[in-house]
Structure 1
Amino acid sequence: MRIILKEYLASLKERGDLDKSVLPNLLAEIGLRVLNTPMIGTRQNGVDIAAVGKIRGEDDERCLYLFCIKAGNITRRDWDSGVQAVRPELNEIRDVYLRTNVAAEHAGLPVRIILCCGGELDETVLMNWAGYSTQNESDRVKYQEWNGDRLADLMMRSLLARELLEEAPRRNFQKAIAMVNEPSACYDYSRAFLSEILEDGLEPSIQLFRLRQAYICLNAVTTWAIEADNLESIYTVSELGVLLCWNMVRAQPRRRRPNKHDQDLSVLFDQFIKLYLACSERYLTKTAFGHSNSLHALSTSVRSREAVDVNLALFELLGRLAIRGCWTAMLSQTFTVEEPEFANALTDSTHRVLDTIVQLVNSNPTLNSPFKDDHMIEIALVMYLAQITGSTPRFLPWLGSIAQQTTLALVINSHYPTCFRDYSDLLNHPISAEGSYRAEACSGSVLYPYLFVWLERVATVDEKKAFVERLGKFLPNCTHQAWLPDEETDVHIWRGETYHGVCVTDLSPQQGFEEVAETINAAIQNCTDINEISAVKSGLVVLFLAACRHYRLPIPPHFWLIDS
């Protein structure tokens, strides 16, 4: 475990990995109170992180800790100049920070100036460091070096120690690290150790500790997956982390005035979201953003002769794009007043996602013909994003094309949407043109009712008539339905349990639009438990939608047609 952690720390090269993600959580666990963390665009006077307190098991008195943090190894060329210049920042701490930035309540405390790096001090720079620290030490000010070994020891002792990270999660964490080249295995092991660390019913006193454990472990997995160039794993496990973190945060009582525990939980949840956003940006930059405008480029990149593989991969990518756009659209509204520049950047990101989705659909015709009935999830997320951004007209032709292609596929008996989920069933579908087979393959549908509702806005009278007649002829016994949350959904959905919710089944297009709309509206009015979903109550509708996509639950009709 110590070797894994040391290599992980040494690999943290990008700004924000060590100073914003790992070290603040570690310092909080070893007994220090973090006073500030780095902010982009502001002068730090040499200090990346300031903290005060006593390190458990080491300090006899409270000290003021001032950290100068560098990524990876520190070499001789980093001592005086370059991006990682060390001595100029140490001079600033001594000449500026200690004279002007120390609060009065900490003015009399002993000072520990820490040169911190995820790797090691190169042999060529050790003499420089020894000479500098000896020359500038005093009775009050002492210098220390915290390298990867020191940080790994602290993490083992405080966050990931054998007696704290128990055997089962420790083994699954190590397996997740070992399997970063295999996305499905990495996800399964990551889900196992995260679920074990973030178990239900924890006392408030250990919730923060467990969340920090989970965040550090998740950071390690994503970092190693990036090193292995496995972007699939970093996306799936980072999104999973957000959902499981919220499962713990949501259980906290809502107070008018949040206490320190509530605030700390909120900060940790923000860190999980930031990790997900960073991972999704890296994933989409490598995939959709770079190649969506090239005809068949992403379809070809699936590297499979099977049409089902291409279809599944492209719809998965579409859903991830849509939920990313929903996140940035929501966050841009959150930061409009407090940080207008950041809000504008998020708005630009949302527009980029919308443009990419249009390009993706235009360049990959398979997205007009969903092979799975639950691809309704991806289609509904795209249309929800379009509605909240006022972009609906851009996607109506695509929606009309899907309605036409899915029913035409029934006529020619070729890859019409099925409720089968097993890969071998999808690979061989359809194996027969008999009505009995279609009745089994399409025993229920959430896709056709969703398309039927939208066709009222999209299609001509003849197109709607053809849609209804084809369904009536080829799927006379299909149960057209919708899913809505119930009172147990908020308890189960965040961990991926799917046996909850209410199913409305009387949505056959043969009844006509008015009756279907009346049934849906009645269900929405009578099934009000969605308003009790913790994420919805907290203004995080996108988190609920992300959980639906992640765990393959249909998007409820509350989000089918909204006022944009």
Structure 2
Amino acid sequence: MRLIIKEFLSQLGESGELDRLLPDLLTRMRIVPISRAQVGVRQNGVDVAGIGVDTNGVRRLYLFVLKVGDLGRRDWDGGVNTVRVSLNQILDSYLQCNVLPEYRDLPITVVICSTGDLKQEVQTDFAGFCARNNSISLDFTFWSGDHLAELIDQYLFDEYVIDPDQRADLRRTLALIGSRDYDLRHAYDLLKALLIEGAEASVCLGRTGRKRFVRQLKTAALVLEIIFRWAADAGNLLNAFKVGERCCLWAWEGARLRGLAGHPSIKRAVKEIFRSHQRICEAYLQKLRPYYSARDGVSLFSRENALITNTLFEQIGVLAVIGLVHIEVAHFSTDEEQVRRAIDQAGEAAGALLELISNNPSSASPRYDGNAIDIALALMLLYLAGGHEQAKQWLEDLAARITFSWQTSNSFPISTDSFDDLLALELGILDQGQISKLKDLSTLIPVIMHWCAMLGESALYQRLSHLQANVFKDVCLQLWYPDQATEPLIYMQQAQYDSGTTEAPIRFPADITGFLGAQRLRAQSGNFVGPEAFSAVKEGLPVLIPMACRHFRTPLAPQFWLPDVPAA
């Protein structure tokens, strides 16, 4: 395990990564951080400061200088960001001006904390510096990557948080994370053990149980970071993205089961997991962006022609959730730089989505009715990002191709999620009865018609409405709506089979005015629960609902598409 942690540490950057991990470690070591690194603020040599008790029971002020990688002669001296310069700044400036009055009488330990080693060529220099400056009240020490890995293993991965079986699951996950066929079962088992198991028994444990769950959330965040680094190195960020989604969903479900979803410390820990997943989203988008910009670029990731469209719509759903995650982070972040970056990333995700759609003509030819989930998510992102005209054009293309495929009974979106059914249709080995069974219901057409109304596409809505009597006359148009029994399921599994209500068959009014009137009446009827019935929405993390729908393939109900549209 320590070798795994050491390898993980070697991949960290100093800013935004190591300085984010260290305060959590110090807290577990009973060293309370009193200051953290800030971008653009003069640090006077100190990245993190904390107050704690040493092995002799003496209360001390700890000052940490953070560096990444092995430290050689060039890192020790000779530039503005070298170790020697930082130590001199501490002696000349920080100790004179930055130590608060209540801490000035405490003994001080200055720690050079690195993810690597102190090379032999500078060990004598460091020893000489310590000999000149160490005193009864001040000493300098070095934490190597090996020592840091040992501390992380001891304090963040201790036996009270992650047992040997769970460590084995982590090792198996890292060994298989690069495989495209890996089902991530070991990662999911580990996250389930950390976040879900024993949740009901912990509801009434009070402050002790709450602190333990915060610790489990932080451990899950560290596990996610480790998996992310390994997946990036193995060239399979899609697996990291899937683990990130599951970690966000189960972190919230664990909080909900414990009755802690609204507690500030729990929400802060969950949001840290969100930020880790946001970094995965950012890395995924940057890696795949060239393929989105290339004509038919997604086809490179499919081994069979019949799988190309499936891969394409998977990417459409993934990109949509990436954009929505960035929007969510922008909403709950308090740091202006984080907000600006999240907004920029959301815009980039929307731009990449448009490139993906325009460069892959089959984006208007879904092959599964379940692709309605991905289409709804993508339209939601485009709407929120201001891409209304592009969304309208995509709706036009979708409607035209789906209508033609239905009329010809060729390459239409089948009502099952079976690849065998799709392949049999492609090969032309089905009789008319079997084909009719694969086109007997549709949620995709109602989703398109709803979005026609949302985007004001009256002419397209009317055309589709008129086709109900002929092209779609034998098709059961339907939509699923959640109910009070949905939330205990939605973060864990497909929710539509054990909860909710299906409206079927749907007969759409002839024009948008009639449709909107029917929507208002439905919202006022009280027969369907609104978004506010879900704890994630009430507590300010509404993106968890579309994320859960994409991850577990639960239909995304109309009331979640846009917050300012009447619930349907």
Map 1:42-121 to 2 at 5 A: 42-54=41-53, 58-82=55-79, 85-121=82-118
Give SS of 1:472's match: coil
* Match in the other structure for 2:359: 363
* Match in the other structure for 2:124: 127
Give SS of 2:293's match: coil
Residues 252 and 480 (structure 1), Cα distance of their counterparts in 2 relative to 1, 3 Å cut? same
In the TM superposition, what is the alpha-carbon distance from 1:16 to its structure 2 partner? 2.0
In the TM superposition, what is the alpha-carbon distance from 1:426 to its structure 2 partner? 3.3
The letter for the 1-side match of 2:352 is T
Question: Which runs of 5 or more residues in structure 1 are unaligned?
Answer: none
The answer on whether the counterparts of 2:478 and 2:504 sit within 8 Å (CA) in structure 1 is yes
Map 1:116-155 to 2 at 5 A: 116-155=113-152
**Deviations along 1:270-307, whole A, 9 cap, x unmatched?**
221111111111111111x33433322x233225341x
Alpha-carbon distance in structure 2 between the residues aligned to 1:418 and 1:17 = 45
Is 1:388 matched with 2:384?
yes
The answer on whether the counterparts of 2:452 and 2:461 sit within 8 Å (CA) in structure 1 is no
* Match in the other structure for 1:327: 325
Give SS of 1:73's match: coil
* Match in the other structure for 1:534: 535
In the TM superposition, what is the alpha-carbon distance from 1:434 to its structure 2 partner? 3.6
Alpha-carbon distance in structure 2 between the residues aligned to 1:360 and 1:46 = 46
**Deviations along 1:92-143, whole A, 9 cap, x unmatched?**
1222112211222222222111111112111222112111122211101122
The letter for the 2-side match of 1:452 is M
Alpha-carbon distance in structure 1 between the residues aligned to 2:85 and 2:543 = 45
Map 1:123-522 to 2 at 5 A: 123-162=120-159, 164-185=161-182, 187-199=184-196, 200-201=199-200, 202=202, 203-250=209-256, 262-287=263-288, 289-296=289-296, 298-306=297-305, 308-334=306-332, 339=335, 342-430=338-426, 431-432=428-429, 434-455=431-452, 457-458=456-457, 459-460=459-460, 463-464=463-464, 467-469=467-469, 471-473=471-473, 476=474, 478-496=475-493, 498=495, 499-509=497-507, 521=520
Alpha-carbon distance in structure 1 between the residues aligned to 2:255 and 2:285 = 28
Give SS of 2:543's match: helix
The letter for the 1-side match of 2:541 is L
The answer on whether the counterparts of 1:176 and 1:186 sit within 8 Å (CA) in structure 2 is no
Which sits farther off after the overlay, 413-422 or 494-503? 494-503
**Deviations along 1:455-508, whole A, 9 cap, x unmatched?**
4543458732664245435xx1x4322222222322222233534431223243
**Deviations along 1:77-102, whole A, 9 cap, x unmatched?**
21113585111111112221122112
Alpha-carbon distance in structure 2 between the residues aligned to 1:173 and 1:362 = 39
Give SS of 1:74's match: coil
Give SS of 1:114's match: strand
Residues 354 and 153 (structure 1), Cα distance of their counterparts in 2 relative to 1, 3 Å cut? closer
**Deviations along 1:43-101, whole A, 9 cap, x unmatched?**
1111111111236xx34122211111111221222111358511111111222112211
* Match in the other structure for 1:25: 24
Give SS of 1:185's match: coil
The answer on whether the counterparts of 1:485 and 1:501 sit within 8 Å (CA) in structure 2 is yes
Alpha-carbon distance in structure 2 between the residues aligned to 1:35 and 1:204 = 22
* Match in the other structure for 1:11: 11
In the TM superposition, what is the alpha-carbon distance from 1:332 to its structure 2 partner? 3.8
In the TM superposition, what is the alpha-carbon distance from 1:319 to its structure 2 partner? 1.5
Residues 193 and 82 (structure 1), Cα distance of their counterparts in 2 relative to 1, 3 Å cut? farther
In the TM superposition, what is the alpha-carbon distance from 1:519 to its structure 2 partner? 6.4
Alpha-carbon distance in structure 2 between the residues aligned to 1:403 and 1:283 = 30
Alpha-carbon distance in structure 1 between the residues aligned to 2:212 and 2:338 = 34
Query: In the comparison of the two structures, how many residue pairs are matched?
Result: 548
Alpha-carbon distance in structure 1 between the residues aligned to 2:422 and 2:139 = 66
The answer on whether the counterparts of 2:161 and 2:216 sit within 8 Å (CA) in structure 1 is no
The letter for the 1-side match of 2:83 is V
In the TM superposition, what is the alpha-carbon distance from 1:341 to its structure 2 partner? 5.5
Residues 250 and 169 (structure 1), Cα distance of their counterparts in 2 relative to 1, 3 Å cut? same
The letter for the 1-side match of 2:400 is Q
Residues 320 and 339 (structure 1), Cα distance of their counterparts in 2 relative to 1, 3 Å cut? same
Which sits farther off after the overlay, 514-523 or 478-487? 514-523
The letter for the 2-side match of 1:324 is I
Alpha-carbon distance in structure 1 between the residues aligned to 2:510 and 2:530 = 28
Give SS of 1:395's match: helix
The answer on whether the counterparts of 1:413 and 1:433 sit within 8 Å (CA) in structure 2 is no
Residues 89 and 557 (structure 1), Cα distance of their counterparts in 2 relative to 1, 3 Å cut? same
In the TM superposition, what is the alpha-carbon distance from 1:432 to its structure 2 partner? 4.7
Which sits farther off after the overlay, 88-97 or 161-170? 161-170
The letter for the 2-side match of 1:159 is L
The answer on whether the counterparts of 1:486 and 1:502 sit within 8 Å (CA) in structure 2 is yes
* Match in the other structure for 1:41: 40
Residues 412 and 204 (structure 1), Cα distance of their counterparts in 2 relative to 1, 3 Å cut? same
The answer on whether the counterparts of 2:485 and 2:500 sit within 8 Å (CA) in structure 1 is no
Normalising by structure 1, report the TM-score: 0.89
Alpha-carbon distance in structure 1 between the residues aligned to 2:264 and 2:562 = 35
Alpha-carbon distance in structure 1 between the residues aligned to 2:563 and 2:251 = 29
Alpha-carbon distance in structure 2 between the residues aligned to 1:188 and 1:84 = 44
The answer on whether the counterparts of 1:243 and 1:547 sit within 8 Å (CA) in structure 2 is yes
Residues 89 and 362 (structure 1), Cα distance of their counterparts in 2 relative to 1, 3 Å cut? same
Give SS of 1:112's match: strand
Question: Which runs of 5 or more residues in structure 2 are unaligned?
Answer: 203-208
The answer on whether the counterparts of 1:180 and 1:186 sit within 8 Å (CA) in structure 2 is no
Residues 206 and 466 (structure 1), Cα distance of their counterparts in 2 relative to 1, 3 Å cut? same
In the TM superposition, what is the alpha-carbon distance from 1:328 to its structure 2 partner? 3.0
The letter for the 1-side match of 2:321 is I
Alpha-carbon distance in structure 2 between the residues aligned to 1:254 and 1:226 = 33
In the TM superposition, what is the alpha-carbon distance from 1:188 to its structure 2 partner? 2.4
Alpha-carbon distance in structure 1 between the residues aligned to 2:332 and 2:191 = 28
The answer on whether the counterparts of 1:177 and 1:186 sit within 8 Å (CA) in structure 2 is no
The answer on whether the counterparts of 1:484 and 1:502 sit within 8 Å (CA) in structure 2 is yes
Give SS of 2:122's match: helix
Give SS of 1:429's match: helix
The letter for the 1-side match of 2:535 is S
The answer on whether the counterparts of 2:191 and 2:247 sit within 8 Å (CA) in structure 1 is yes
Which sits farther off after the overlay, 457-466 or 440-449? 457-466
The answer on whether the counterparts of 2:275 and 2:329 sit within 8 Å (CA) in structure 1 is no
The letter for the 1-side match of 2:326 is T
Residues 114 and 168 (structure 1), Cα distance of their counterparts in 2 relative to 1, 3 Å cut? same
- How high is the sequence identity, in percent, across the aligned residues? 27
Residues 455 and 163 (structure 1), Cα distance of their counterparts in 2 relative to 1, 3 Å cut? closer
The answer on whether the counterparts of 1:450 and 1:560 sit within 8 Å (CA) in structure 2 is no
The answer on whether the counterparts of 1:38 and 1:48 sit within 8 Å (CA) in structure 2 is yes
